[in-house]
Amino acid sequence: MTYTVHGATGAQGSPVLAGLVAALEGSADAEVRAITRNPDQTFEGANTVVADNSSVNSLTDAYRAADGVFFHLPLAGDPETLAGYARNVLAAAKAARPSRFVISTSGTVIGDATSPLTGPNTPVLSELVDGLRAEGIAVTVLTPRLFLENLLLPTVLSGVKDEGVLRYPLRADLAVAWGSHLDVADAAVAALTLDVAPDAVDIGQIPAITGNELAEAFAEHFSRAVTFEAVTPEKFGASIAPIIGAGAATGVAQLYAGLATADNVAFDSATGSAAVLGINARNTQAWLTDLGVF
């Protein structure tokens, strides 16, 4: 069995790579390929494959004879560039014919025009998924909502540690099915290695939790009082611009502005990873513990 992982050094791809290596340990005929643009990069238990989303030929080589591919689009970037990446992935898949793709939407919701979590990547991902399926390639779409890792931004975590205040651009009463990169990885490994994988899996905590409940989880983990404080999307965007860049920060602010009137950021439990794959998403305390956040 051969699996190819995009973003092997990144936030989502890295735990997928580690999970596959662990799951396939001892399998003599298993190979895990880690895509990177750095030819000097090495990965324990995996083979380095130099490829770039801008090169169909390099992607074709990375996908050749693969039983499964894990892919997600970068969150930030010029929309036309990202669309070009998706077209290249589709062209390479048509040439190499991997058996399955597992695609993380990284929080974008596709197939639901009413969702507040639609964005520039939504039509790009929809086109990629439809194109792969039209070629007879099985696709599992993993849809997390908001990532818990967002709460590790220095501007957020420092408020918790130094002031006991969790500041975030959401209403305190908005219920969110928070998920993590670790939860995406667990679902991706299962979807890649199952004989038959589902078409779609929602990723996140069930039941969804409010900002106040999120603060309570942080309070329990850090053994101190923590309160939730809603901040404006504009203020939040300005605070993270020095970290992720002005353009990306503007996109983040726009996302949260769109969530201002949302009833919730959740999903039906029947479509979640627990029901579909038998994998429970971590609660906030378990996630903090697994990452060793102190």
Alpha-carbon distance values, 171 to 5, 163, 210, 257, 260 (Å): 36, 20, 8, 11, 7
Q: Thinking of the domain 147-178+204-266+282-294, which architecture would CATH place it in? A: Alpha-Beta Complex (3.90)
234-246: pLDDT as tens digits:
999 999 999 989 9
245-268: pLDDT as tens digits:
998 898 899 999 999 999 999 999
Mean pLDDT of the chain: 96
Every domain range in the chain assigned CATH 3.40.50.720: 2-144
32-58: pLDDT as tens digits:
999 999 999 999 999 999 999 999 999
DSSP 152: G
18-27: pLDDT as tens digits:
999 999 998 8
Every domain range in the chain assigned CATH 3.90.25.10: 147-178+204-266+282-294
N residues, the chain:
294
Indicate the helix (H) or strand (E) that contains 208.
none
Q: What's the angle, vertex CA 177, arms to CA 21 and CA 288, rounded to 5?
A: 55
Question: What CATH superfamily is the domain 2-144?
Answer: NAD(P)-binding Rossmann-like Domain (3.40.50.720)
Q: Residue 15: phi, psi to the nearest 5? A: -70, -25
| pLDDT category of residue 119 using cuts at 50, 70 and 90 | confident
